[in-house]
Structure 1
């Protein structure tokens, strides 16, 4: 069988999914043209996987429950040089990732993050905001990075992300990515993105209990010692005019 090749300008978007059938059409129709949507089904019972496939997405099955498990499965399954991550609940528009990818290709950053800016008070419950603010402060102290959010909208290069050897398979995955990137002297940038009220109930921060579990997972990540000696990644900027 002939091996599948992926053009270097291609982009894969990892969409961790647990019962998001209601939001999937909105999310998938906003994937930029030419990019591939990887919907990682994390045990959905509402037909999300079948719907995603009908809508043209590639579906990856990850039976181990956990946000990190789904994200890592998508990263491993990706074939493009650049991999993006986005929630699958219609709270974030994947089209916002276009300038993130451009920044990577121009060699201006190694990891690009979206700082969520809620468009309405209902988009981000107060307990989730408080938890995020506390964790962001802890991250700044731990890494020295001037970050304000640990949001799920992000972009990086697949090979370098895999080399971070991320081990958390729960809510601490996004934080571990940032911490290990900082330890490796990556250039991490953050940009404001509009944050919309999600479709359906949150599996992580929809309740105080869920927020507490997320904070617990992330505190555990912050307590980990740096992993080995780090070498900054180096990329040659892509020539102007290359398509996204």
Structure 2
């Protein structure tokens, strides 16, 4: 079985060679370019990745464009910044392929200096809220994840900003999905994060996620 891997990308020329050359056999990278001004597209194409261009800016817009472009039965998502090792993808897809889980998140186990304190604290607070809201035993809103493509498209995900990963979990839980975690290494990324690298970026992301929490709560009330 071949598995598509969605990689939202914005100026990741420094990270892409490492990421793409570490893809396990049978895992097909789909690099979704979201407005890069560097050589990301050229590098991705040269290393054999399928490149999808999503002109609408936003992390969720890039993720969803990759999901719609995917054709495999099971699809993965992961960051393209070299903070996650693609060689760990089989551990994330394994429970889905075995029928033990419907959505698997890679719980990040950070190496020293990989995860800024402000982002780590914000993630812990969010994970606690998710446990209360969904009943799933989650400790992280892991960016490396896997699920079946048809079921994911059926969730009707609407957010196109940083709330997309949270909306996926909330709607999956509301649909009765079995949501589980596996531990994966979290590495120092190549370059500066657009999301967690600054307090401002983290605050913006938290704002998107609070909005998604409120919207889905109203819909399921």
Same fold (TM over 0.5): yes
2-structure distance, mates of 1:34, 1:114: 19
Q: CA deviation at 1:134?
A: 1.1
Could you give the per-residue CA deviations for residues 190-225 of structure 1, whole angstroms, max 9, x where no partner exists? 011110000001111111110001001001111123
Task: Give the match's secondary structure for 2:56.
Answer: coil
More helix by share: 2
Residue in structure 2 matched with residue 221 of structure 1 by the alignment: 212
Q: CA deviation at 1:145?
A: 1.1
Q: What pairs with 1:16-55 in structure 2 (closer than 5 Å)?
A: 16-55=8-47
Q: Contact (CA 8 Å) 2:170, 2:216: kept in 1 or not?
A: no
Q: What's the C-alpha RMSD, in Å, of the aligned pairs? A: 1.3
TM-score (norm 1): 0.88
Q: 1:12 aligns with which of 4, 10, 13?
A: 4
Q: Does 1:151 align with 2:142?
A: yes
Q: What pairs with 1:15-164 in structure 2 (closer than 5 Å)?
A: 15-120=7-112, 122-164=113-155
2-structure distance, mates of 1:227, 1:79: 33
Q: CA deviation at 1:95?
A: 1.5
TM-score (norm 2): 0.97
Q: CA deviation at 1:100?
A: 2.0
Q: Contact (CA 8 Å) 1:139, 1:222: kept in 2 or not?
A: no
Residue in structure 2 matched with residue 5 of structure 1 by the alignment: none
Could you give the per-residue CA deviations for residues 78-105 of structure 1, whole angstroms, max 9, x where no partner exists? 0101100110000001121102222111
Task: Give the match's secondary structure for 2:215.
Answer: coil
2-structure distance, mates of 1:208, 1:226: 27
Q: Contact (CA 8 Å) 1:139, 1:145: kept in 2 or not?
A: yes
2-structure distance, mates of 1:24, 1:225: 34
Task: Give the match's secondary structure for 1:152.
Answer: coil
Q: Contact (CA 8 Å) 1:183, 1:226: kept in 2 or not?
A: no
Residue in structure 1 matched with residue 180 of structure 2 by the alignment: 189
Q: CA deviation at 1:226?
A: 5.5
Gaps of 5+ in 2: none
1-structure distance, mates of 2:118, 2:77: 24
2-structure distance, mates of 1:216, 1:142: 18
Aligned residue pairs, count: 220
Residue in structure 1 matched with residue 156 of structure 2 by the alignment: 165
Q: CA deviation at 1:142?
A: 1.3
Q: CA deviation at 1:149?
A: 0.5
1-structure distance, mates of 2:141, 2:56: 23
